[in-house]
Amino acid sequence: MDNSIAAWLVVALAAAAANLPFFSERILGLFPLPAGKGAASGAGERTKRFPLRLLELIVLYFLVGFVARLLESRIGSVYVQTWEFYAVTGCLFLVLAFPGFVLRYLRKRRG
């Protein structure tokens, strides 16, 4: 796989994964939300609360990082990263999650 294709694949995967908790009411986009745990109170309505979305965002960050590390190892040698790398990529992941956050919590709903 070419270096630029792998890099763009990781960026696209990160953008999709960062917005997934805000667009889906399922855990990691796969598992339905249990009725009593993490769901907001309401008759028949099951929505994820913000702490669960934040935890899901952290899990997806590490999942995307694992995929990126796999792609890097297939291309060549894996470079050792320090805490600064993880701080910057974590902030970048939060920036990529901003559109989903805005649509979920800041957009005015009609009706």
54-80 per-position pLDDT tens digit: 999 999 999 999 999 999 999 888 889
Residue 31 burial (C-beta neighbours within 10 Å; 0-12, 13-18, 19+) = exposed
Does residue 91 belong to any structural domain of this protein? yes
Does residue 51 belong to any structural domain of this protein? yes
Does residue 18 belong to any structural domain of this protein? yes
Amino acid at 95: V
Length of the chain: 111
Amino acid at 81: Q
Q: Low-confidence residues of the chain, pLDDT below 50?
A: none
Whole-angstrom distance, CA of residue 108 vs CA of residue 111: 10
Whole-angstrom distance, CA of residue 65 vs CA of residue 86: 9
What domain count does the chain have?
1
Range(s) of the domain holding residue 16: 3-106
Q: Name the pTM for this structure.
A: 0.84
